[in-house]
Amino acid sequence: MKILRTDPLRPDPQVVKTAAEVLRRGGIVAAPTETVYGLFADARSDAGCARVFKAKGRPPDNPLIVHVDSVEMATEVAEVPAELYEVLKRVWPGPLTLVLKSKGVVSRCVTAGLETVAVRAPAHPVPLAIIRELGAPIAGPSANKAGRPSPTAAEHVVEDLGGEVDVVVDGGPTFFGVESTIIDVTKRPPLLLRPGPFTVEELERFFGPIEVPPVARGLSEADVAVAPGMKYRHYAPDTPLVVVHFDLSAAAAALRSRGLRVAVLCAVGKCAEADAVLRLGDDIYEVAKNLYGALRELDRLSVDVGLVPAVEERGIGLAVMNRLRKAAGHREAFNLEDLLRYELG
Ligand code: TXA
Ligand code: MG
């Protein structure tokens, strides 16, 4: 494995060239996007794609996102309805993935044999430069081991996949820290599959009313998977985590008085005394950005339980709550009684 550093905003041409060369030969490259780090292969390469699945330990029926540099490139891999074309011109590049009808030109490995394909143009100079240098779309999931939090820094990628990837492009921490918003526009109204930095409020300005199913809020695991990836457990630290909707101090104190070692993840002005304190930030964008790093940190603390306050489900807060609920294995407490019902420690 080679680690190549670059300024995220002005990608080093030599680094971009090397990355594209590795991809051209069927190799795999981890690189930042504005959301999280991705693990990329040439979207046309069966061999490259197979290596991505193997490195991640990802089930073969869970398709990858195809990353393009433009709406034009998207039309090469997917059917883009005329009315969507102008909309995409306005929303891309950005943290928004669209599920569209596939033209079948990317590797079948990438789409897991589906008739649809997930496509996005990332708003990050590094992957955009790599796609342009390669002259083709790149396919990739988040660059974590399956079941681990998505990587928001190059160190996370090395931690999870160090031995398996050819090149890690280190462009520093990612900008948003949670994965892109995914909507299925083959459905009427468009269906939100995963909330992200591109908010529902913004989506509705461009796409009209959007359907937000409970599973997109993280309220349940989909048993009939709407997005193939939804049936797999995600973002889970080993330390049990609880989302707390009442007074955080009271929650922490109650568990500590029962002999448990407690970490609190402080967010949006809510904090408490505990055995360990991880600060996510007071601004909701800061919370999103620091969340996955904190979940990795939580497992290094050797505490019995983590507590995190619930945040408001609007704007990027919808994405934050979705990730928190999943990380907590859907443990949510609205009062002390709820909290003490969970088997913790
Ligand atoms: O921000 C992101 O989206 C990052 C960066 C690297 O772009 N990527 C990412 O990829 O989060 P991944 O593989 O971790 O999540 C992609 C999700 C999976 O849940 C997958 O099941 C879903 O997209 N997906 C891919 N193709 C699909 C399709 N045709 N229909 C429905 N869901 C699809
Ligand atoms: Mg992922």
What ligand 1 atom has the least distance to the C-alpha of 122?
7
Residue 37 marked ligand-binding: no
Query: CATH top-level class for 241-341?
Result: alpha beta
pLDDT bracket for residue 235 (50, 70, 90):
low
Does the domain at 2-219 match CATH 3.90.870.10? Answer given as yes
Nearest CA owner, ligand 1 atom 33: 227
Enumerate residues 6+ apart whose C-beta is below 8 A from 86: none
pLDDT of residue 343: 84
Q: Report the complex ipTM.
A: 0.99
pLDDT bracket for residue 344 (50, 70, 90):
confident
What ligand 1 atom has the least distance to the C-alpha of 58?
13
Ligand 1 lining (C-beta closer than 6 Å): 33, 35-36, 38, 62-65, 97, 99, 114, 116-118, 122, 140-142, 179-180, 182, 193, 227-229
pLDDT of residue 147: 86
Query: What ligand has the least distance to the C-alpha of 194?
Result: 1
pLDDT bracket for residue 80 (50, 70, 90):
very high
Residue 291 scores a pLDDT above 70: yes
Residue 172 scores a pLDDT above 90: yes
What stretch(es) of the chain map to CATH 3.40.50.11030?
241-341
Residue 229 scores a pLDDT above 80: no
How many Cβ atoms from other residues are within 10 Å of residue 310's Cβ?
A: 21
Assigned token pair, 8: 């995220």
- For a mutational test of ligand 1's pocket, the pick from 103, 182, 221, i.e. the residue with the most ligand atoms closer than 8 A to its C-beta, is 182
pLDDT bracket for residue 227 (50, 70, 90):
low
- For a mutational test of ligand 1's pocket, the pick from 97, 108, 126, i.e. the residue with the most ligand atoms closer than 8 A to its C-beta, is 97
For 6-25, what is the mean pLDDT?
98
Residue 233 scores a pLDDT above 70: no
Nearest 5°: phi and psi at 120?
A: -150, 155
pLDDT of residue 237: 85
For 51-55, what is the mean pLDDT?
98
pLDDT bracket for residue 226 (50, 70, 90):
low
Q: Are 297 and 149 in contact (CB under 8 A)?
A: no
pLDDT of residue 345: 73
For 44-59, what is the mean pLDDT?
97
What stretch(es) of the chain map to CATH 3.90.870.10?
2-219
For 18-26, what is the mean pLDDT?
98
Residue 231 scores a pLDDT above 90: no
For 105-124, what is the mean pLDDT?
98
Distance 99 CA to ligand 1 centre (A): 9
- For a mutational test of ligand 1's pocket, the pick from 124, 150, 179, 194, i.e. the residue with the most ligand atoms closer than 8 A to its C-beta, is 179
For 241-260, what is the mean pLDDT?
98
On the CB side of 142, CA atoms within 13 Å amount to 24
End-to-end Cα spacing for the chain: 38
What ligand 1 atom has the least distance to the C-alpha of 226?
31
Nearest CA owner, ligand 1 atom 21: 229
